[in-house]
Amino acid sequence: MAKTVYVGMSGGVDSSVAAMLLVEQGYKVVGVYMKNWSEDLPGMKCPWAEDLADAKRVAVKLRIDFEVWDFEKEYREKVVEYMLSEFKAGNTPNPDIMCNQEIKFKLFYEKAMKRGADFIATGHYARTGQFECVLSGTGPSRPSSRGSGPHTLAAASGLPREKHSQLSQTRLMRAVDENKDQTYFLYRISEKALARTLFPIGEMTKPEVKKLAEKHGLHNAYKKESMGVCFVGEVGMKDFLKKYIDVQPGEIREIESENVLGYHEGAVFYTIGQRHGLYLSGEKGAVNDGMPYYVVKKDLKNNIVYVSKNLNDEHLWTDKLQLKDIVLRQSEYILSGTGPSRLSSQGSGPHTSAAASGLPREEYSRLPSILVRLRHRAPLVPAEFDGETLYFEHKIRRPASGQSAVIYDDGICLGGGIII
């Protein structure tokens, strides 16, 4: 009998093509629109009903069942509340990552499984691969999925493979379309859900997806892509925050001189490194030479935003990033017995899953030559990781606190954490 897949359909071209491919592959497909948000904001109509209609139109065309699952309450509790509290704390959270963790790959996944699904699917640009994993010690063997190379980290172990029991594990892998890869948003999803997830368009490029949509007469082939946070969009974030966070206007000061250059509507709206949307009066001797100012520091207690023209300002750069709320899907990569200071002894101790075994920090060894992504679509940067802190060879532009650093070993997304 055909396996059953519940596919999340947003009304966009990606999830529409995903659903179509699943139908072509012979699955019994059920389309689900997740209704996470429907509230209009002043001057901004929430497009949920139109999106739903778009999704449904495709489902009808594909002759598949279609349902609407209402997660509004949960979305508000798990995603919006998190987002607001992070902003209030001066951080720049990524609600889409939280939405994937809490809604799409938890509530949606759980409900689909309860309804008898064999798999869930989404229109994300990502892939999964089955890897034979050794329980304690070595990294995975060659992946069975096409498109990813040998895994360098396996070499970190000095133990012979045959000593270890093996099992197959599902790994999150970067999409073929490097430009669209969405694993940055998916690094926090549970291993359990991942094992039952299909990403039908992960092997395709965006232009291929669009072309296929056109070829099959899916009307949303040319639908404008939604950008930023799904329910407000990038432009709307400030209006959204204003509605929920009580903010006070305050000063914008130049960090070097402490001169007041202008005023802001509320420090929480600003992100370190930001250079747009600063309305500076240029008073008190600030020379208006056309060079942009960057936000370099926020003093939430005194509601002051500090800016600088100096792109080399120390606040903007760093060679290490400390992470919290770390998720490491391949915990066996964190080898025990050594700390960052004892790199030379790496690989000599007993190899257990450090994260799982709760070994003290000094028992972690550094992970050499991993790759890190600090923003969606940002280039991968080589780094080392000791289980808590990322170390970069060269200084990088410091990402805002609250954003995620996502860790890769070649094509595999190992996990990541929230930047402190």
Give catalytic residues, as residue numbers.
Answer: 99, 230
Beta carbon of residue 65, minimum distance to another protein (angstroms, whole number): 8
Type of residue numbered 239? D
SS (H, E, C) the chain: CCCEEEEECCCCHHHHHHHHHHHHCCCEEEEEEEECCCCCECCECCCHHHHHHHHHHHHHHCCCEEEEEECHHHHHHHHHHHHHHHHHCCCCCCHHHHHHHHHHHHHHHHHHHHCCCCEEECCCCCEEEEEEEECCCCCCCCCCCCCCCCCHHHHHCCCCHHHCCEEEEEEEECCCCCCCCCHHHHCCCCHHHHHCEECCCCCCCHHHHHHHHHHCCCHHHHCCCCCCCCCCHHHHHHHHHHHHCCCCCEEEEECCCCCEEEEECCHHHCCCCCCCCCCECCCCCCCCCCCCCEEEEEECCCCEEEEECCCCCHHHEEEEEEEEEEEECCHHHCCCCCCHHHHHHCCCCCCCCHHHHCCCHHHCCCEEEEEEECCCCCCCEEEEECCCEEEEEEEEECCCCCCEEEEEECCEEEEEEEEC
CB 85 within 8 A of CB 44: no
290 alpha carbon, distance to own chain's centre: 35
Residue 19: CB minimum distance to another protein, A: 14
Minimum separation from the CB atom of position 16 to another protein (A): 13
Note the residues at the interface with another protein (CB under 8 A): 38, 48-50, 52-53, 56-57, 60-61, 63, 66
Distance of closest approach, residue 114 Cβ to another protein, in angstroms: 22
Compute the Cα dihedral for 392, 397, 400, 404 and give only its sign.
Answer: negative
Contacts with 194 (C-beta within 8 Å, 6 or more apart), sequence order: 105, 128, 170, 171, 172, 329
Least separation in angstroms between CB 224 and another protein: 17
Q: Which is nearer to another protein, 59 or 103 (CB)?
A: 59
Q: Kindly state the smallest distance separating residue 219's Cβ from another protein, in Å.
A: 9
Closest to another protein by CB, 48 or 408:
48
CB closer to another protein, 20 vs 272: 20
**Which residue lies nearer to another protein by CB, 49 or 356?**
49
Identify which of residues 60 and 167 has a Cβ nearer to another protein in the complex.
60
Are 126 and 186 within 8 A, CB to CB?
yes
Q: How far is the CB of 32 from another protein (least distance, A)?
A: 15
Which residue, 60 or 235, is less far from another protein as judged by CB? 60
When the beta carbons of 62 and 307 are compared against another protein, the nearer one is 62
Least distance from C-beta 49 to another protein, angstroms? 3
> With respect to another protein, which residue has the nearer C-beta, 55 or 153?
55
- Burial readout 304-316 (b: 16 or more C-beta within 10 A, e: otherwise): bbbbbbbeebebb
